[in-house]
Structure 1
Amino acid sequence: MNRAASVGAQVCFFPEASDFIGLNHEDSMKLTFSHEREVFINEFKEHVKLLKIHASVGVHEPILSKDLIANVCLWIDDEGNVIHKYQKLHLFSINAVDHQRMKESKYIEGGKSIVPPFKTPIGNVGLAICHDLRYPEMSIKLRNLGAEVITYPSAFISRTGADHWTTLLCARAIETQESISYVIAANQAGKHNETRESYGHSMIVDPWGIVLASCSTASREPSFCIADIDSSLVHKVRKELPLTRRNDVYPKI
């Protein structure tokens, strides 16, 4: 965060599950209710305030009435206040016989709604999380609500990352081009434990599907990338490649 702010970043984007990645769902439940998690979030907010920037960060939250937790993305303003919170809608599951198995719904409760895009120093931002990336309906809905930037804080696994990560991010940017959509995706990187490894390669994609900046490494060494968000690009994209959806044939999202 310090390094990004020192070179002029107005907003910093952090990955999904920035507070912790547990060994299993029992470990995740325990860590969600830990004092250390509260300390992390409070110190994070204080540092955002100190640097006078805005930040997006993925964390876990307890659901006191249930034996489940929430996977959320927080938007923190330059005063250190959480002003928006989105709860992950689409929960990840993988059941590859020769690879890892995982089912988020065992311990995470899916969200119930989309958070309307909101004004920020880089334009109107729409919030999503990791596996939401595989559902274009969500990005189109955010675009129709006015999103100019969509962020996907992620812990995208290495098993699928090499083949799907960049393709999906570029697709989400391109398909929403009729109402500008930069895509910003901060991804966890490297091996977390014996059963979990994230792909890394955080990146920023413009509405033409061009990768403006990326963290080329998948190692656990902290890194960041930075790019300018140019809202005037919307006019260029709309003029060069206008889209005419046939909502008389298929439903409008």
Structure 2
Amino acid sequence: MPKIAVLQMTSGIDPAANAASIASAVHDAKAGGAEMLFTPEMSGLLDRDRKRAAASILPESVSTLLAEVRQAAATAKIMVALGSLAVAREDGRWANRSFVIDGTGEVIARYDKIHMFDVELASGESWRESAAYAPGEEVVAVEHTPIGRLGLAVCYDIRFPALFEELGRRQCDVIAIPAAFTVPTGRDHWHLLQRARAIEASAFVIAAAQVGKHEDGRETYGHSLVVDPWGEVLLDMGGEKPGLGFADVDLARIDEVRRQLPSLANRRAIAK
């Protein structure tokens, strides 16, 4: 059965340092026997100071970080699900964009985060992602990966079941949900939501996460997870420190669960 690697990061405000961490993880993942590496949301830059961050948020075509990760993937001959990068769009807004890179270094899929994180938490944290980022509009599933059909989502997307219903309808074997979850919401909702999404889609969920205290002052929850289609947690990397974890993805488990509980086949349209 294929083995995957999950990178838990404490990304900072220097894209070059973050790129070096990801490239190193690509090679370590390959050395550890993984066929695919998953990284968190905002792997390349985590900086809530948007004025400072703007100098480092570039069009995809000139992103040195993306180029470095593509080169590392090609050298190691491993597929990489780059959780997301902040990239500049032609209209002047930014996108929170996931990339899937194959073992030759080619980008074979892109997904722009659809749901913007606009919240005010009881802890005092306030976030307005839509003030700078444009939401994506397309659901994306990648057909050919070492772990089957891969559906893409990012962080706050996890709270919107319609997206995952569509990924389930597309018969995704695995869904990637990279994240930079806040600590308050993480404590109460992270494991619950990840397990629920795996169960309802009868699919594996791979959630690479940011963790710990970051240079921009924020703190993220961590606990990068791999969850099987029954909702069993196969890997939990904890909330203390960055690192690289590994898990086996038993694709036969998907068919086994779908035979026992054929919820995708039993789904009926709800009259409006």
TM-score (norm 1): 0.90
Give the 5 Å matches for 1:84-103: 84-96=109-121, 98-103=123-128
Structure 1 residues 161 and 98, CA gap change in structure 2 (3 angstroms): closer
Pick the aligned partner of 1:63 from 69, 78, 89: 89
Report whether the alignment pairs 1:235 with 2:255.
Answer: yes
Pick the aligned partner of 2:243 from 204, 209, 223: 223
Q: Does the CA-based 8 Å contact 1:91-1:104 persist in structure 2?
A: yes
- Which moves more between the two structures, 26-35 or 106-115? 26-35
Q: What's the CA shift string for 1:191-220, capped at 9, x where partnerless?
A: 11354111111010000000111212333x
Residue 97 of structure 1, CA deviation: 5.2
Q: Does the CA-based 8 Å contact 2:77-2:103 persist in structure 1?
A: yes
Root-mean-square deviation (CA, aligned residues, Å) is 1.9
Q: Does the CA-based 8 Å contact 1:117-1:142 persist in structure 2?
A: no
Q: Does the CA-based 8 Å contact 1:198-1:218 persist in structure 2?
A: no
Pick the aligned partner of 1:208 from 230, 245, 249: 230
Counting matched residue pairs gives 243
| Residue ranges of structure 2 left out of the alignment (5+ in a row) | 1-24
Give the 5 Å matches for 1:146-225: 146-177=171-202, 181-193=203-215, 195-219=217-241, 222-225=242-245
Structure 1 residues 104 and 7, CA gap change in structure 2 (3 angstroms): same
Structure 1 residues 26 and 231, CA gap change in structure 2 (3 angstroms): same
Give the 5 Å matches for 1:83-162: 83-96=108-121, 98-162=123-187
Pick the aligned partner of 1:76 from 101, 115, 134: 101
| Seq. identity, % | 35
| Residue ranges of structure 1 left out of the alignment (5+ in a row) | none
Structure 1 moving runs of 4+ over 4 Å: none
**Which amino acid in structure 2 is aligned with residue 217 of structure 1?**
G
Residue 103 of structure 1, CA deviation: 0.7
Q: What's the CA shift string for 1:136-169, capped at 9, x where partnerless?
A: 2111101211211000111111121111111100
Residue 47 of structure 1, CA deviation: 0.6
Residue 250 of structure 1, CA deviation: 4.1
Q: Does the CA-based 8 Å contact 1:29-1:69 persist in structure 2?
A: no
TM-score (norm 2): 0.84
Pick the aligned partner of 1:33 from 58, 61, 64: 58
Higher relative contact order (CA 8 A, sep 6+): 2
